[in-house]
Amino acid sequence: MLCICVIAAPLTASAQVSEVVGSRAAGMGGAFVAVANDSTATWWNPAGLAAGPFFDMVLARAAVEVSSDVSRTAMWQNRTSWFALGTPPFGVSYYRFRLTDIRPFSSTGPTLPDREERGAGVPIRSLAASQLGVTLVQTVFPGVHTGATLKYLRGAFDGGDAENQLDVDLGVLATAGAFRLGVRLRNVLEPAIGTVRLERQTRVGVAFEAEAAGGAPLTIALDADVDAYEIGSAARRVVALGAERWLWDRRVGLRAGGRMNTVGGRERSATAGASVALRTGVYVDGHVVRGGAADEEGWGVAARVTF
């Protein structure tokens, strides 16, 4: 499903950080629009529920941030927790976010040798937001599925009065043998909270499932944002590549990937993740994101039941 992760710049800005949701997706670098085969399809691609398991439920928490250095003008942090449940025709989900935009200090004058430099700080701004969604899917014909997530959004800046909005996300998933193609359209109605408008965004993905071609249980995926958007005061348009490999009768899953922001600060990050089955159909998922200075870093952990 999708959602709101928005932070206000001085006038108008919007942002939605896809990669902060879904421990499996994050471990694959955020290349998940064409994979989307668990309950986080409610976020990544609503149509994915049609090709997922009979039942999947997840409870999770994650965080991602970009730290500022001398070459950047801002730092943002996004902390998220969520619950999602999905079956082939239907899904429900709840996502809660706190997005913080932190601007660095700027010099108020020349630095003298015998005095410490003083700066003028721009106030920190934060948005607490939540999304309750209902996802419906439909198989158009064999191998082609469509889905929609109807969203009720509620958000407030810096502890102020909350505002409510309605919106919808759309998704398409096509499968042919070992290949999958996904398209996700987010914020179709472009709702606004205060001065912040959630811009319509499009993301596409392709995936190859070797197991469907008679190979090992290995998935390789590539995602790309069609549009650029803003988070805090930074521009963002991501290309992501990732892989997932299951071992020992799907008792252990290993993931790796990477992503690059092709605009703005051009952050680059590597990701890794794993799933361990506590018993049949009960998993603990985790992931980490690591980059250099001014690149993305993050973590996440999830409990998931699937069959």
Of 107-116, 133-142, 171-180, the poorest mean pLDDT is in 107-116
Residue 294's pLDDT band, with cuts at 50, 70 and 90, is: low
pLDDT digits (tens, 9 = 90+) for 56-109: 999 999 998 876 554 444 467 888 999 999 999 999 999 998 877 755 544 444
Q: Note the helical H segments in the chain.
A: 23-27, 41-44
pLDDT digits (tens, 9 = 90+) for 14-40: 455 778 899 999 999 999 999 999 999
- What confidence score (pLDDT) does residue 170 get? 98
Q: Between the CA of residue 107 and those of 19, 122, 148, 232, 233, what are the distances in Å?
A: 34, 12, 48, 21, 19
% of the chain beyond a pLDDT of 70: 81
According to DSSP, residue 50 is labeled G
- What confidence score (pLDDT) does residue 7 get? 32
Structure tokens at 208: 């190859």
Q: Which residues of 93-112 are buried (b: 16+ CB within 10 A; e: fewer)?
A: bbbbbebbbbbeeeeeeeee
Cβ neighbours of 146 (radius 10 Å): 18
- What confidence score (pLDDT) does residue 16 get? 57
> What is the secondary structure of 159-181 as a DSSP string?
T---EEEEEEEEEEEEEETTEEE
pLDDT digits (tens, 9 = 90+) for 97-127: 887 775 554 444 444 444 444 444 444 677 7
CA nearest neighbour of 174 among 217, 153, 204 = 204
> What is the secondary structure of 273-284 as a DSSP string?
EEEEEEETTEEE
pLDDT digits (tens, 9 = 90+) for 211-259: 999 999 999 999 999 988 876 556 889 999 999 999 999 999 999 999 9
Question: Does the pLDDT of residue 2 top 50, yes or no?
Answer: no
CATH topology of domain 18-103+124-306: Porin (2.40.160)
Structure tokens at 294: 């001014």
- What confidence score (pLDDT) does residue 9 get? 34
Length of the chain (residues): 307
19 vs 154: which has the higher pLDDT: 154
Q: Between the CA of residue 292 and those of 4, 20, 297, what are the distances in Å?
A: 27, 18, 8
- Distance CA(195)–CA(211), nearest Å, equals 48
Q: Which residues contact 151 (CB under 8 A, 6 or more apart)?
A: 1, 2, 3, 131, 132, 133, 166, 167, 168, 169
- Distance CA(218)–CA(186), nearest Å, equals 28
- Distance CA(180)–CA(173), nearest Å, equals 7
- What confidence score (pLDDT) does residue 219 get? 98
